[in-house]
Structure 1
């Protein structure tokens, strides 16, 4: 198994600018020197070192310092710190926070197994799981991304996703591996990127066009992943940024790269594109997706892993294109019928602005179909008559909720599980 070796990267790109943060430039040499100083400052004794991620240079250098100390970083967000004992139960007594002082007799002389880091899944379907990512799987994927996204055209790379997410870490390490300049991102930042830059982001962020214009300069390419990129968002985006190359990437923390497509001119509904090279997929009887590829993770922390990866998504392959209809956990059981939220949403987008469909428990029907939208003053009777022209009666929504903004997670995603929880608490009554 290949080992992540930052010194090899530094030997290629030493004096180049590696990171721009808070308008300060840091070369590859600077990051290496800072990280090695941190190794001396910290007491890095345990097998796993927990880092609370953020967009700072300090965090990036802490991550590198853990590798210099031949330990495995565990990257988490601040809101997961109170769950660590449960999340890391499989490696109890084998981890420490990076700032902990650990007795010498409780240390490891040497540890190395090829893991790049461990990270927490989004937890949108329950308690986060700690996935293990090895360097080789991402490095191979980086080479594929370089060709497909034509990264030679770009000098800078950035992401709106927190560095606590798989997308955030993937973007950071992709940038470092190819000697690019990585621009850290904070909601309050105005990124003064003077060079041609590729942005990795999520669909919900792209829907905030005015905010994007205020934040970024010189974005010439965008890769959207971590949620469905709708034609509504694409058309709105291209009206304002027609010159920008727009791609959609489908994958997960566990699978990394699965499928991709260029979507400047729109896309087929529910289609996420063609499979990346060397990816193969199959489906269970319930149409749940199974993935094999060289880009897979190394299992969940403390557990053995065997391919393929069983995803939580329901879909199919048509004409060498992958279609994803819903998360299995988001499929609505209404009167014994399985209803995919996306098949209702695609019709509703003809009449409403931002929209998300989810199911809430009902003792008679199993689940009621709820629509949340940012459109006000809805004529429900007229709207449902229009829907009846496209959908069977059992797929007609039971209730519509108008909000100023559809709630998002910390990583700018829509969690239907969280919307159900808010609904049941009476938040929208």
Structure 2
């Protein structure tokens, strides 16, 4: 079961307790159940749901996965032509199931597909994969245990419900019988108001959001002492964000985890209140409950501990594969082991993330992953953010260069070199530093290493050389 049978249970046991809140509009468990049940009969076997955050979204999503129905959630901010293309692809590729107009609001067989997930990717058309009901139940059980979700928690996930992080948080809370909140759109002031007035105890968000909320929350004296859990995903927390979150929400356990849409949860760690992190570290904790992790080469052979290779996963949470977009590399399998191509290594049972193989810099015969360099730079005092890339070099093949955004005032190459002394091996350190007013990003908001190189080569005024 994903969560519909659970909604029925909570509606019977606690009908008037709050289930979902979006921008101040509330539905209790009985209202959510009844509203979703009314829509089931008119809901097709395959639904494409494309709308902004609202309680109606939660109701329609519940109805769209009743019985053997399947649902694809589209981002309403995508261009109309892209949305239309995806709708056509879903209708052409998804195998419709036989549905009964008299279906109740109940979960279908565990092995049936219910969710058509869409990866954001870097191409114009996202890849589409499917997940079974059973895989999400296993994911719920694992995440509830790992993150310690309780029924008396109030979870706020302030991002778009079309994003997998927030959609999962909604479904996880419905499964656990715990109140879920979100906003019509992300706004720092609205999040602070919800924390102050709505008894929020748990935040689910990306690091950039956490940093803004923490820094502005301290400036505005917003009390976050009632937050006991912060869950971050999307990228590893940098030292400055972690420090700011620690000061703003002093009683929170801060979790970060590694996972992928196609793999679900892989590994994670939780830093209890007062527990220090590892500045510049690449470690992302130990495997989730029910997950096995192995590092394997391109032939599928395990490598010695401490050696890097493909991060491979074996669990019941892995997706069923792609409806479209499978190039044979995006999700590979070695028998029962699956990988999306992320590179890493295991040390004392902890998984360390290095990044995608395509991002690797080969310099003087050594492999350097920019993700590792960026995390180390972000731990240097005076650095707000950093991006690293490999620039062609006649002697080395490539040389590591880095752009940094100072946290305040200026910064020198000497300060950067000194800051990396204890946290990054010498052969991985940048040979050239540049000061940036902001990180280079794509139209979708992702940091672009290739754009950094373009700025440097074009002598863009946003780039100022600090020397080596």
Does the aligned pair in 2 maintain the 1:120–1:165 contact within 8 Å?
no
Structure 2 CA distance, aligned partners of 1:138 and 1:69?
15
Alpha-carbon distance change, 275 to 115 in structure 1, aligned in 2, over 3 angstroms: same
Which has the larger displacement, 146-155 or 291-300? 146-155
**Number of the residue aligned with 1:100:** none
Alpha-carbon distance change, 391 to 143 in structure 1, aligned in 2, over 3 angstroms: closer
Shift of 1:114: 2.4
**Number of the residue aligned with 2:369:** 340
Alpha-carbon distance change, 169 to 424 in structure 1, aligned in 2, over 3 angstroms: farther
TM-score normalized by the length of structure 1: 0.82
**Number of the residue aligned with 2:82:** 83
Does the aligned pair in 1 maintain the 2:207–2:233 contact within 8 Å?
yes
Question: Aligned ranges for residues 158-169 of structure 1 at < 5 Å?
Answer: 158-169=156-167
**Number of the residue aligned with 1:204:** 208
Structure 2 CA distance, aligned partners of 1:23 and 1:122?
29
Structure 1 CA distance, aligned partners of 2:243 and 2:294?
32
Question: Aligned ranges for residues 144-183 of structure 1 at < 5 Å?
Answer: 144-152=142-150, 154-183=152-181
Does the aligned pair in 2 maintain the 1:196–1:220 contact within 8 Å?
no
> Counterpart of 2:161 in 1: which secondary structure?
coil
Of 128, 138, 141, which aligns to 1:140? 138
**Number of the residue aligned with 2:302:** none
Question: Aligned ranges for residues 23-38 of structure 1 at < 5 Å?
Answer: 23-38=24-39
1:224 counterpart = 2:224: no
1:283 counterpart = 2:306: no
Does the aligned pair in 2 maintain the 1:161–1:201 contact within 8 Å?
yes
> Counterpart of 2:168 in 1: which secondary structure?
helix
Shift of 1:36: 3.9
**Number of the residue aligned with 2:70:** 72
Structure 1 CA distance, aligned partners of 2:453 and 2:124?
13
Alpha-carbon distance change, 427 to 52 in structure 1, aligned in 2, over 3 angstroms: farther
Structure 1 CA distance, aligned partners of 2:19 and 2:296?
44
How many residue pairs get aligned? The number is 414
Question: Aligned ranges for residues 217-256 of structure 1 at < 5 Å?
Answer: 218-256=226-264
Shift of 1:211: 3.8
Shift of 1:409: 7.8
1:8 counterpart = 2:8: yes
> Counterpart of 1:195 in 2: which secondary structure?
coil
**Number of the residue aligned with 1:308:** 337
Instruction: Extract unaligned runs of 5+ from structure 1.
Output: 96-106
> Counterpart of 2:319 in 1: which secondary structure?
coil
Structure 2 CA distance, aligned partners of 1:69 and 1:84?
26
Does the aligned pair in 1 maintain the 2:370–2:388 contact within 8 Å?
yes
Does the aligned pair in 2 maintain the 1:154–1:196 contact within 8 Å?
no
Structure 2 CA distance, aligned partners of 1:418 and 1:63?
38
Structure 2 CA distance, aligned partners of 1:413 and 1:62?
30
Shift of 1:181: 1.1
Question: Aligned ranges for residues 105-120 of structure 1 at < 5 Å?
Answer: 109-110=98-99, 114-120=112-118
Structure 2 CA distance, aligned partners of 1:36 and 1:53?
20
Shift of 1:18: 0.7
Alpha-carbon distance change, 24 to 332 in structure 1, aligned in 2, over 3 angstroms: same
> Counterpart of 1:151 in 2: which secondary structure?
coil
Alpha-carbon distance change, 354 to 66 in structure 1, aligned in 2, over 3 angstroms: same
TM-score normalized by the length of structure 2: 0.75
Alpha-carbon distance change, 115 to 216 in structure 1, aligned in 2, over 3 angstroms: farther
**Number of the residue aligned with 2:320:** 298
Of 385, 397, 402, which aligns to 1:355? 385
**Number of the residue aligned with 2:186:** 187
Structure 2 CA distance, aligned partners of 1:89 and 1:12?
41
Does the aligned pair in 1 maintain the 2:401–2:432 contact within 8 Å?
yes
